[in-house]
């Protein structure tokens, strides 16, 4: 059918979405992705530009780099958009399965709620696609609650679970991702730390210092790893 409406990318450009609207859109797209996966298709390029809006309906579009889950040889190419690619999609594309689309939509949900994707960490800094891919693999995302304090702890856990670096620690599929959004209280604690308000401010100030090449991403990855335990405790104490 012909869709006469803006993309989600255009909608988000106006600012973060109200949380109920973001969740309503998420449930529609997750149901569409789950249908694809149940029928053996991996989208591989889930992003706001590939979601069209028509009034209150959201439609998943552009299956140009989609492939069959049963054909790993078809996933050897490095397809996708850096800001929404899962770590395994970057490092070992043939191993990517439905959990890669879970990660991609986790990035989209993060952006709907905050107005910006999780990576790069400093949205005002000019970085290359390769630097963003490095952050996807190594860097800890800033808690979405830093940018939108209306996000509660349950929703934060859902977003961060979808963004787990290890596919085994994410939702098993988009169906379980949607189920968690419908019943957030039942979602287990986040499987990875997020950078807290205090740490985010410190790191963002560091990132404002000019740096070349991949050094920024490397620095962020090291900081995120070294402070993981501290930041998790801080987040639970200050943001819950």
Whether residue 31 lies in the annotated active site: no
Burial class of 132 by CB neighbour count within 10 A (0 to 12, 13 to 18, 19+): buried
The one catalytic residue among 4, 34, 45, 56: 45
CA angle (160, 199, 234) in 5-degree steps: 70
Please identify every residue annotated as catalytic.
Answer: 45
């Amino acid at each position: 059918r012909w869709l006469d409406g803006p993309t989600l990318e255009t909608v988000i450009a106006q600012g973060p979405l109200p949380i109920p609207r973001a969740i309503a859109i998420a449930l529609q797209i997750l149901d569409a992705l789950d249908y694809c996966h149940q029928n053996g298709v991996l989208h591989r390029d889930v992003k706001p530009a590939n979601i069209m809006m028509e009034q209150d309906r959201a439609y998943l579009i552009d299956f140009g780099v989609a492939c069959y889950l049963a054909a790993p040889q078809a996933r050897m190419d490095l397809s996708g958009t850096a800001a929404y690619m899962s770590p395994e999609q970057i490092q070992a594309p043939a191993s990517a399965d439905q959990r890669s689309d879970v990660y991609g939509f986790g990035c989209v949900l993060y952006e709907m709620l905050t107005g910006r994707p999780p990576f790069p960490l400093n949205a005002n800094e000019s970085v290359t696609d390769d630097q963003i891919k490095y952050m996807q693999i190594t860097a800890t995302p800033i808690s979405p609650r830093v940018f939108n304090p209306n996000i509660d702890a349950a929703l934060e856990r859902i977003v961060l679970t979808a963004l787990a670096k290890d596919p085994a620690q994410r939702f098993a599929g988009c169906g379980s991702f949607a189920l968690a959004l419908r019943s957030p209280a039942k979602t287990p604690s986040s499987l990875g730390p997020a950078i807290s308000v205090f740490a985010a401010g410190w790191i963002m100030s560091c990132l404002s210092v000019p740096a070349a090449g991949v050094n920024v991403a490397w620095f962020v990855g090291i900081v995120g790893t070294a402070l993981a335990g501290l930041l998790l405790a801080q987040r639970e104490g200050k943001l819950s």
